[in-house]
Structure 1
Amino acid sequence: MIAFLRVFALSLLMASAAQAQEMHDHGVPEKLGDVSFSTSCAPSVQTSFDRGVALLHSFAYAAARQAFEGVVAKDPKCAMGHWGIAMAFFHPVWSPALPAETFARAQAEARVAARLATNASPRERAYIQALGKLYGGEDAKPAARTLAYEQAMAGVARDDPEDVEAQVFYAVALLSNAPMTDKTHAKQKQAIAILDPLFRAHPDHPGIAHYLIHACDSAELAQRGLPAARKYADIAPSAPHALHMPSHIFTRLGLWDDSIRSNLASKKAAREHDDTMGQVHAMDYLVYAYMQSGRDREARGVIGELKAMHGLDMDDFGIAYPVTAMPIREVVEQGRWNEAATIAPPAGAPASVVAIAVWAKGMGLARSGHPEEANAQASRLDRIQAQLKTAGDDYWSVQTGVLASEVKAWAAQAKGDASAAVALMTDAAEREDRVEKRPVTPGPIVPAREQLGEILLAQKQPGPALAAFNMALSQAPGRAGALRGEKAAEATR
């Protein structure tokens, strides 16, 4: 059994700016958890190397890169140090996993690692050869690279079943290739089968707890992720991401008080680490939890904090999404439709984020009695969907198509076309049901299935409305709107 070494941060470092991407770097924790990854590098760099691996496992990529750069500065022949630098540019679970703007740097580090591997151990060479699948060649697409890496890590894990790190890195490689459209969660379940026994044997390993939460971040599997969610913040209590990540499970289970505590702590830690993306990400989850638990005043307070933040990079999806979604959540959840109708798209934001604001405006127009103007916003969403599809962003293209159908459904309802309203919203709900949410969001502003219940209730169909609300709650327990709808439908049956 590999002996585990308690890893502490040697000093508090300032993380460099994160690359623009769907998620974000989470700062430098002071306490990282138990990690032991033995290497043939100089003994003097072993603690620093373990620290770098622990940072990888908490997605503190800029700090991890700095740690590994320190390793190779002290031991230039350390092949695994260059492996670590390259791995800090690979972001499994996030999108994109292989950021284009850092690919060349990562590829160069992978080549140095391969050149130095002649003096490394067979175990180390196996890791470096797997890394080559990510960064070798010239023309392979990112999806092919991450799949080849997963297959290579499967071999590393199979050949050395006692190597805890091999099992952990293989598990997260599985998650990096889990299709958002696979509602059977096959790869997630495969990862859970690896991680569950490891979690019992190594309860203070940050990667095991962290990746279990990601693997279980679905309505089907969330309950299985609760033990890891209860533990991860204790493993790395100074890491903003470790403080936030449990709320993915708490949100799935409707445990709003737990989610609020988690994200209050994460928001504070992220601000202290100057981690803007981590801060606004936690704030979005916090607003969502406040709204579902009826704490509207506290939600407005968080939005007030957001408005006081300046210099936010709206080109960066990881910032633009929560910054745009938070105030829209509050307006739409409270049904302030005249206000929603005045919402303007954020300047400079990615098209997938602009779509949220266009949707909110369309919803406000439709639900305040302006169906033709609402349909104009739906047409704009159709154009954004086509733009995203042309750009190869199939996931957000699908989601934008759902938003367009929702606006069209409410416009039809406003015009008195009841059957079209139900058909459009049913189609939106079925399409939304077929894909999982991205980690960037606690959930849709309002799930389509919940909106279907609202339309059916407005049409005085309490039975079908109740069925829609019940299904919505099975997918997102504890949502306030669905609970209100369920109660109203039961009262009018």
Structure 2
Amino acid sequence: MFRRSWFVCVAVLIVATAQGREMHDHGIPEKLGKVTFPISCDPKVQQPFDRAVALLHSFAYGAATQAFQEIAATDPKCAMAHWGVAMTYFHPVWAPALPPDTFAAGQKEMLEAARLGAATPREQQFIRALGELYKVDPGLEPAQRTLAYETAMGEVARANAKDVEAQVFYAVALLSNAAPSDKTHAKQKQAIAILEPLFRINPDHPGIAHYLIHACDSAELAQQGLPAARKYAGIAPSAPHALHMPSHIFTRLGLWDDSIQSNLASAKSAREHGDTMGRLHAMDYLVYAYLQTGRAKEATGVVDELHAMPPLDMKDFGVAYAATAMPIRVAVEQEHWADASAITDPQGAPPSVVAIAVWARGLGLARTGHPAEARKEAMRLGQIAKRLSDTGDTYWSVQTSVLADEVMAWSAQASGEAASAETLLTAAADKEDALEKRPVTPGPILPAREQLGDLLLAQNRPDPALAAFKATLTGSPGRAGALAGEARASKAGN
């Protein structure tokens, strides 16, 4: 017996996100959106299952895991409950999509779902697709697993053409394989083609709105994602991530006041629900938006809040990135180069995060007249880039090499080597422009092409500087530094 639909609204607010698993009773209705995922398990677990899927669609992974586990305890024969637990260990638009520390747990749940079997062909198809993601084959790389899962989910979607969840899970499987180097956004456009028609028919579905925002998180597609961004927070306001996600589109379009409001709400909600990573992620986007509107005092206030927090798990990439980036943004965006030169390495953080601190320090040294010391930091960035490349982390290796080129460029400029400085910074800008940013950040702390404009202005070349600033604004509308540089270059060229 299947329920036709269920609006996820109950008397207790229970929200957890990617990091936290705390449960809080606020005595107000929970609102997570409208999800319908019929299963053949005990009818009394149908509503809890729909709710668990709604949590999953808003990346409330901790709460979703607990919800699916409770379903399995209530109905020990429910294979789809174990499918659900395994799905919470798959983070399709994050990196890594299959975190190594939880892969074994996900695989165990997948095997249990397969052992129990399912009563309907549709459920069997979902479980078989999951089997591609967690196949017992140690020789498979994560990218091979996610690609095989995408292919399998495509078959599920075609076999269940009118099933909303089959289409939605296929769309997010496509996004899990969207390469940052693909500037045509082919996978994103495939997902959008699936999701947009569904959004018109299912305007309160959390996953559809959420995944549309992720699919449109690029300069090319951001405008197309604005309707979903305007809607998502209202669909699932009980999920802190849903309050934050619209700011990805607002940032792309330079809608800074909207971004500020989005992240104030998300940071507050995440704080209330013990989600440290979600709170820091929202705070980082908030600092970025404050700086673009000239609200340096408010940005500094967010950094003060960061420093007042208990000790952080700096081994967690999302936590470490935001905690490291925020104070660096405040220093560098305001050209407080002495402050930047005093930045210290974050202890225990991943190498790709340490690189940001090394870059800030090198940039500060170069811009305060210490080119030799700056070159040492650039050499260290080169070493970090090589180490990342050797471990297969191509994306962050390239990004770190961009940072190295930037520091070398400003060191060359400080040493009177203008031509070399321009060559290095142009190369950095070209490499940076060739890759999409990861969702972990609102954007480069200081875009390379914006820096190129500043460099060319320092060399008294306003016309090419103006072109560099205009190019920056095409990709990042409303950036304060590029707007100010554009005005300076225009005035100098007249």
TM-score of the two chains, using structure 1 as the length reference? 0.96
Which residue of structure 2 aligns with residue 130 of structure 1?
A: 129
Which residue of structure 1 aligns with residue 484 of structure 2?
A: 484
Distance (whole Å) between structure 1 residues aligned to residue 249 and residue 22 of structure 2? 19
Distance (whole Å) between structure 2 residues aligned to residue 16 and residue 306 of structure 1? 19
Name the aligned partner's letter for residue 114 of structure 2. A
Secondary structure of 2:33's match? strand
Alignment of 1:70-469 (within 5 A): 70-117=70-117, 119-139=118-138, 140-469=140-469
Per-residue CA deviation, residues 453-479 of structure 1 (Å, 9 max, x unaligned), is 001111111110010000000000000
Decide whether the 8 Å contact of 1:9 with 1:32 is kept in 2.
Answer: no
CA deviation after TM superposition for structure 1 residue 174, in Å: 0.2
Decide whether the 8 Å contact of 1:175 with 1:188 is kept in 2.
Answer: yes
Deviates more, 1:9-18 or 1:102-111: 9-18
Decide whether the 8 Å contact of 1:27 with 1:240 is kept in 2.
Answer: no
Distance (whole Å) between structure 1 residues aligned to residue 268 and residue 445 of structure 2? 24
Secondary structure of 2:460's match? coil
CA deviation after TM superposition for structure 1 residue 124, in Å: 0.5
Name the aligned partner's letter for residue 226 of structure 2. L
Distance (whole Å) between structure 2 residues aligned to residue 9 and residue 412 of structure 1? 62
CA deviation after TM superposition for structure 1 residue 74, in Å: 0.9
Distance (whole Å) between structure 1 residues aligned to residue 206 and residue 18 of structure 2? 23
Which residue of structure 2 aligns with residue 21 of structure 1?
A: none
Name the aligned partner's letter for residue 369 of structure 1. G
Decide whether the 8 Å contact of 1:26 with 1:240 is kept in 2.
Answer: no
Per-residue CA deviation, residues 317-370 of structure 1 (Å, 9 max, x unaligned), is 111101000000000111111121111111111111100000000000000111
Per-residue CA deviation, residues 432-466 of structure 1 (Å, 9 max, x unaligned), is 00101000000111000000000111111111001
Change in CA separation of 1:393 and 1:25 when aligned onto 2, cut-off 3 Å: farther
Deviates more, 1:309-318 or 1:356-365: 309-318
CA deviation after TM superposition for structure 1 residue 12, in Å: 3.8
Decide whether the 8 Å contact of 2:22 with 2:274 is kept in 1.
Answer: no
Name the aligned partner's letter for residue 331 of structure 1. A
Alignment of 1:7-22 (within 5 A): 7-9=8-10, 11-13=12-14, 15=16, 18=19
How many residue pairs are counted as aligned between the two chains? 487
Per-residue CA deviation, residues 47-81 of structure 1 (Å, 9 max, x unaligned), is 00001100110001111111111111111111111
Per-residue CA deviation, residues 191-228 of structure 1 (Å, 9 max, x unaligned), is 00000000000000000000000000000000000000
Over aligned residues, Cα RMSD in angstroms? 1.6
CA deviation after TM superposition for structure 1 residue 16, in Å: 8.5
Runs of 4+ in 1 over 6 A off after TM superposition: 24-29
Change in CA separation of 1:306 and 1:211 when aligned onto 2, cut-off 3 Å: same
CA deviation after TM superposition for structure 1 residue 136, in Å: 1.5
Secondary structure of 2:376's match? helix
Deviates more, 1:388-397 or 1:249-258: 388-397
Decide whether the 8 Å contact of 1:146 with 1:176 is kept in 2.
Answer: yes
Name the aligned partner's letter for residue 132 of structure 1. G
Structure 1: runs of 5+ lacking an equivalent: 19-23
Deviates more, 1:124-133 or 1:134-143: 134-143
Change in CA separation of 1:219 and 1:112 when aligned onto 2, cut-off 3 Å: same
Decide whether the 8 Å contact of 1:41 with 1:77 is kept in 2.
Answer: yes
TM-score of the two chains, using structure 2 as the length reference? 0.96
Decide whether the 8 Å contact of 1:79 with 1:120 is kept in 2.
Answer: no
Decide whether the 8 Å contact of 2:359 with 2:378 is kept in 1.
Answer: yes
Secondary structure of 1:439's match? coil
Which residue of structure 2 aligns with residue 4 of structure 1?
A: 5
What is the identity percentage for the equivalent residue pairs of Structure 1 and Structure 2? Answer: 67
Name the aligned partner's letter for residue 297 of structure 2. R
CA deviation after TM superposition for structure 1 residue 30, in Å: 2.4
Decide whether the 8 Å contact of 1:366 with 1:407 is kept in 2.
Answer: yes
Distance (whole Å) between structure 2 residues aligned to residue 126 and residue 93 of structure 1? 22
- The answer to whether 1:50 aligns with 2:42 is no
